[in-house]
Chain A
Amino acid sequence: EPEVTQTPSHQVTQMGQEVILRCVPISNHLYFYWYRQILGQKVEFLVSFYNNEISEKSEIFDDQFSVERPDGSNFTLKIRSTKLEDSAMYFCASHRDPNQPQHFGDGTRLSIL
C-alpha cells in the first residue's frame, strides 16, 4: 500500500540554524499538509498546499517557515532560524481530494539544542 514517507526520522539542530524537513507524498495525491505535535500536546495544523501554492496557514506558520514542492515528488518544510520551541514531531500528510481522509507519514522528530 502506498505510503507517505518522511526524512530524516530524527533531526538535531542548534538554535538559530536552518532546517529542511522532507516528505514524499503518495504519488497521485494533490493536496499536501504539514502538522506538528509538541510532546504531550495535540497534533496542530501548520499549512496546506495545493496547485503549487499555500492554501491556508495557521498562526504558528510565521515568516520563519516556508514550504516548497521543488519537483513532482518532494514536499519540504523549511524553518529559517530555529528556536527551542520548534522542537516537536513534524508530520506530513496528503490526500487526493478534500473528501478523502488525509494519510500521514511517520514524522520527523526535530530537536533544537
Chain B
Amino acid sequence: EDQVTQSPEALRLQEGESSSLNCSYTVSGLRGLFWYRQDPGKGPEFLFTLYSAGEEKEKERLKATLTKKESFLHITAPKPEDSATYLCAVQAPRGGSQGNLIFGKGTKLSVKP
C-alpha cells in the first residue's frame, strides 16, 4: 500500500534556528513528490516538486531534497512567518494519467521570535 509518513508531527524552533522536516514514502513507481505549505483555515499552497533521487529545489529559506525512500525539507534561519503546517504528498502511479496525491499528516512548524 502506498504510504507517506512525516516526522516530527510538531516542531518548535527559535527564530534563526535551522532544522529539517522528514517525509518517508512507500510507493510503487514514484511519479513526483510535492511539498505544500498550509496555513490555518487555508488550502495547501504549492512549494516544490521533486521527481528523481538526488534532485534539490530551493526557495528563499527552504530547500527540498529527495532520495529513493525519503525527502527532507530544510529550513535555514527560519522566521516567525515560516510558521505553518508543511505537507508532503506523492503522486500515485495508478489510476490513469492524472495521478491523485497521497498526503502525509504534515509537520506543524512554530517559529518563535
Contacts and interface: CB of A to CB of B under 8 A. Distances in A.
A48 B44 contact: no
Interface in A97-113: 98-99, 101-107
Contacts of A4: 43
Given A41-B105, A42-B104, A98 B42 contact: no
Nearest to A95: B98
Interface residues of B, number: 26
A31 B95 CA distance: 13
Interface of A: prevailing SS:
strand
A31 B44 contact: no
Given A103-B46, A104-B44, A107-B43, A45 B98 contact: no
Interface of A: 4, 6, 31, 33, 35, 41-45, 48, 50, 55-56, 58, 91, 93, 98-99, 101-107
Given A4-B43, A55-B98, 20 more contacts: A42-B104, A42-B106, A43-B44, A43-B89, A43-B103, A44-B103, A45-B102, A48-B95, A56-B95, A58-B100, A91-B43, A98-B99, A101-B49, A102-B46, A102-B101, A104-B36, A104-B44, A104-B46, A106-B42, A106-B43
